[in-house]
Amino acid sequence: MFGALYIRKNIFVRIIIAGGLVYAFFSLLTIFSIFGELRILGLLEYDLYFIGCVLDILLFSTALGYRSYLIHQEKVETQKLLMIESEKNKTLLQQQHNILQKENAREQALASMNKHLQEEVGASLSSIHVFADLSANIMETYPQKSKEYLLRIASLGQNIMDDIGDIIWLANLHHENQHEAFLTRIKNYSHEILVPKQIQMHLTVSSDYYNIPLSEEFLRSGIKNIKTEMKNAQNIDSTNELNIQIEVQNNLPVIHYS
């Protein structure tokens, strides 16, 4: 990751990678604290993990703010160019204006989805804080229960990283290749969740799928529901395959599971 941080020239990506490094560093400290049964910098394991998550979220929010600033600057420059071109060609201006309207609508939809996902991240952080307090209160009297809370904290931390990954994916998704990108995202999660458990995924896609528009809400909820189905299949011992079928009904995409 240090190599990736050095190679990447994009500040947005660098901040994201830096957040990952901070998260990984505090996760290692947490592991050493748990197995070594010692305090690091006077902090218990759940304190270290919570600090790492908070710093990662702060860096991620900073990256999103920086990216929004760049988008705003690009929009201002584009509008200036459009005003100059409007004197030369009103027809071209109208066409470009329509394109900008579509882009603005898409950016607003993405901003709404990002806000929703960030709220989910915030809720997970609140849960981490609650479990951390509970773990601290029963650490000495009920050590086994305390370990269960620490495992829940680790699970919530993984969910946070997944949500952050989805936010980045949606923020960088191009309209032209969103159909293929959505299928690729499904396959990537299959390799992460199902393959380690030797569960096969069979993905069937209707031929009409590529001819319909995919809303940002469908992309967000679709990925979330698919991850949930994969994790459910992962927890069932008798399951060795998961069938996912994407159909088109009334010009809308529908996902079925079996």
Q: Which two tokens stand for residue 39?
A: 């305090």
For the segment 58-72, the average pLDDT, to the nearest whole number, is 79
Look at residue 2 in the predicted model and tell me its pLDDT: 43
Q: Which two tokens stand for residue 58?
A: 């702060």
Q: Which two tokens stand for residue 218?
A: 């469908």
pLDDT tens readout for residues 73-94:
888 888 888 777 777 766 666 6
pLDDT tens readout for residues 233-252:
888 877 788 899 999 998 88
Parallel, antiparallel, or unpaired for β 200-205 and 252-257? unpaired
Contacts of 8 (CB under 8 A, 6+ apart): 14, 17
pLDDT more than 70, % of the chain: 64
| CA dist list (Å): 184 to 1, 40, 169, 173 | 23, 41, 11, 12
Task: Report d(CA 146, CA 131) in Å as an integer.
Answer: 9
Task: Report d(CA 96, CA 118) in Å as an integer.
Answer: 32
Q: Which two tokens stand for residue 91?
A: 């027809």
**Does the reported pTM lie above 0.85?**
no
Eight-state DSSP code of residue 193: I
